[in-house]
Amino acid sequence: MMLNRRMMIAAGLASLATRSHAAAERYQLVPDRAQISFAFSLSGTVQTGTVPLETADIRVDTRRLSRSSADVTADIRQARTGMLFVTRALLGKSVLNAAEHPIARYRSRQISLGAGGRLSDGAEINGDLTLRGVTLPMTLAAQLTRPPGTAPDDLSVLTIALNGALSRSAFGATGYPNLVEDEVRLDIIAEIQRAA
């Protein structure tokens, strides 16, 4: 009797979990339309660079946007700045250590919607960033929009924009402290399309 009751509860929970995730649709990156831009101060001058996004598992629940999720990776070895010597220093052992830790990963844990209950007006994504083998919590401001001119119900292609900042020393990227400030600004933009 007790075993049957446990089985019924387990089956009910499994059914509930399936229904709650059924509304989230999978989106994939549009090739060449997704990258991370970063900015940091080198000797008082702002330097910028980019890293292409490599993979993304993005789920968008249009009925309850707070149940959406993102799991994205970038190959740090592909990071580039405007100057070759800065790029080499960036990828080196004392900063990103790209040879030993080539992949950066961000996984969302919770999405807090903006005042209007949308991802287009002040939403935040709380998640975990793994960089140089160190995983720390990170909050990113988020916006999710449709391409201009598309119909309100056409959600086949979306643009997601994320931005925030991190302390490089918190992840062990401590090289060149007398030249490079600790804060690094991140701007992530990706065009995503509903998976077939």
6-47: per-residue pLDDT in tens? 433 334 334 334 334 457 899 999 988 999 999 999 999 999
For Cα atoms 121, 127, 129, give the angle at the middle one, nearest 5 degrees. 120
Please compute the mean of the pLDDT values over residues 90-100 and round it to a whole number. 97
The set of long-range contacts for 81-90, using a CB threshold of 8 Å and a minimum separation of 24, is 81/47, 81/48, 81/49, 82/47, 82/48, 82/49, 83/47, 86/42, 86/47, 86/49, 87/49, 89/175, 89/176, 90/49
The CA distance from 112 to 124, in Å, is 5
Q: Rounded to two decimals, what is the model's pTM?
A: 0.83
Nearest alpha carbon to residue 26 among 2, 54, 61, 55 = 61
Domains of the chain with bracketed CATH = 24-194 (2.40.128.110)
DSSP assigned state of 24: P
The CA distance from 68 to 91, in Å, is 33
Q: What pLDDT sits at residue 120?
A: 66
In the structure, what pLDDT confidence band is assigned to residue 116 with cuts at 50, 70 and 90? confident
117-150: per-residue pLDDT in tens? 766 677 899 999 999 999 999 999 998 888 899 8
